[in-house]
Amino acid sequence: MTTLDRDETHTPAALPRPVIAGRPLPLRAAVPLAVAAGLALLMAFPPYGVWPLAPVGVALLAAAAHRRRLRAGAGLGFLTGVAFFAPLLDWTNLHTGYLPWVLLSLLQAGYLALLGAATAWVSPLVDRARWAWPALTGLLWVGQEALRDRTPFGGFPWGRLAFSQDSSPLLRLAALGGAPLVTFVVALIGGLLVTAVWRGWVTAQRHAPEHTTTPSDAVPGSDGPLDGPAPAGGAVARRWTPVVVPAVVAVALTAGGLLVPVATAGSGDTVTVAIVQGNVPRLGLDFNAQRQAVLNNHVDATIELAERVADGQQRRPDLVVWPENSSDIDPLRNPTAGARISQAADTIGAPILVGAVLLGPDAGQVRNAGILWRPGTGADLEQLYTKRHPVPFAEYVPLRDVARMVSKKVDLIRNDFVPGSTPGVVRAGPTVLGDVICFEVAYDEVVRDTVTGGAQLLVVQTNNATFNVAEARQQMAMVRLRAVEHGRPALMASTVGVSGFVAPDGRVSDATGFNTREVVVRQLRLDDGRTLATRLGWWPEVALAALAAAALVGAAVLRRRQRVRPG
């Protein structure tokens, strides 16, 4: 028998309904619900983007794990996690083999197993006060994400509920409390849905003609048939109020996001910015086997832009942004690479933010950096940002000997990338940039530190040549949330796409295709104000996670009291 098979085997077979109040859903219903929860969550994210399915997925997992034993709750949460993360992260297996993808998916699913166990644990609180179910659901999701975003090796925040809401009215809530608040409200709405559906089913059961209640069915604090006889015929409206009210509140909360004020454009100076997406000779891990070709693609595209400027077809940009890995030849040590970048900067007559791989500072080390290259003077070493959060097993290899047993491809990373120590605040003429590189856009503090450091424009330099268009669109969804969170215009510059500009209200403009060579130019209004989310920083997440911990402690106290209660 599995853990799930052993759970709740005492349910009497003679009951007229497959579910009774006071007991969990039978496994034959809970297991499909858990899998459906993961698939609903998956469909809420790009490239599918059916954002209303995010709270539906939350509701399905909450229903499946409610009133279960801890092991069964964990098992159901794990099923949800596998159904969600395995297809969401399938872009990680395109060039590294299946095993790293499987291990990463199982690791992430483990956090939803913890969530399933926590959901089962707080069931006594839900049964004692049904109105608390939505809030508890929201708190547990924030707590789970707070843990997953930080552990192990600095965490992996991909797949946060907030990142599924890039086209939702709830995106605006990011301006008030960042990604944690958006996640909380999405899960809160899921809690409202499960409350409404659960009470609706119980109400239908209570008044089904063939249902009879016996004293042995009674469970303290439960709802439904166990709470007593059916109300008189005139109480229909009162009977269905616990169903209708949560459903109406869920819809109102979703629509209420539109009432949160966000800027549609910056309020400062206007600048013209160009994104150069030079493309690569071929996708895959060996995209940089022709490093000179990748650099030449970006240089040539910039020179072509300069020709259009000279012909009057295009406004001269104040800033040009190249993506991550646009120069995997260290231009500070290789005169040929440096000369080519200088040629591009001098021809366009504007500074270029170059995504470069730099050697050092010590032997055997490299840095993933954004460096400002000015026309006439070349590299500005005072305006250089080194990526603060290198990706484990992709840019550096912890436990290398163990990792080699999983995949020999870890040896493609000959030198470990070393992290930078300062936020990516880059001063480029009339513009102060908040530079983050690739996956760093998923980490709240990395982006926020640039804004508190004075950034007026958020810039995400990324390289999607080793992934696919689904990963690129998922990353663009994160950029949209960051723009709203901090009230800043933003852009994403990718080697192969998707690149584009994002307004402070989250709207995307001039999005490029995937695996194409394109240059897009746009005028942007800068901004140096601070949203409430920027001012509050990490405190909303701390408060919500602390309340989640308090709920777990409260459930422990209630469980202990129930165990020692006479009778």
Q: Which of 264, 312, 257 is nearest to 503 (CA)?
A: 264
Query: Which helix (H) or strand (E) is 468 found in, with range?
Result: none
Where b means 16+ CB within 10 Å and e means fewer, 405-428 reads ebbebbeebeeebbebeebbbbbb
Catalytic hit among 210, 304, 307, 324: 324
Catalytic hit among 145, 395, 438, 518: 438
Please state the φ and ψ torsions of residue 499, each to the nearest 5 degrees.
Answer: -110, 160
Six token digits for residue 354: 């170059």
Name residue, tokens 């992996």: 156
Active site residue 409: no
Please state the φ and ψ torsions of residue 504, each to the nearest 5 degrees.
Answer: -60, -15
At a CB cut-off of 8 Å and minimum separation 6, what does 403 contact?
Answer: 393, 397, 410
**Distance in angstroms (rounded) separating the CA atoms of residues 86 and 89:** 6
CA torsion sign for 345, 349, 353, 359 is: positive
Instruction: Provide the H-helix boundaries in 18-164.
Output: 27-44, 53-65, 70-88, 98-121, 123-128, 133-148
For the chain, how far is it from start to end, CA to CA, in angstroms? 32
At a CB cut-off of 8 Å and minimum separation 6, what does 13 contact?
Answer: none
**Distance in angstroms (rounded) separating the CA atoms of residues 458 and 109:** 31
Classify 500 as helix, strand or coil: strand
3-class secondary structure per residue, 214-243: CHHHCCCCCCHHHHCCCCCHHHHHHHHHHH
Six token digits for residue 210: 């063939």
**Distance in angstroms (rounded) separating the CA atoms of residues 18 and 232:** 26
Classify 314 as helix, strand or coil: coil
At a CB cut-off of 8 Å and minimum separation 6, what does 113 contact?
Answer: 74, 75, 77, 78, 81
**Distance in angstroms (rounded) separating the CA atoms of residues 92 and 407:** 13
Six token digits for residue 30: 């809970």
Say if residues 13 and 217 touch (Cβ distance below 8 Å).
Answer: no
Catalytic hit among 387, 395, 440, 518: 387
Active site residue 387: yes
Q: Using alpha carbons only, how large is the chain's radius of gyration in Å?
A: 27
Helix, strand, coil fractions of the chain, as percent rounded to 5: 55, 15, 35
Active site residue 324: yes
The identity of residue 418, as a single letter, is V
Six token digits for residue 402: 């163990």
Q: What residues are annotated to the active site?
A: 324, 387, 438
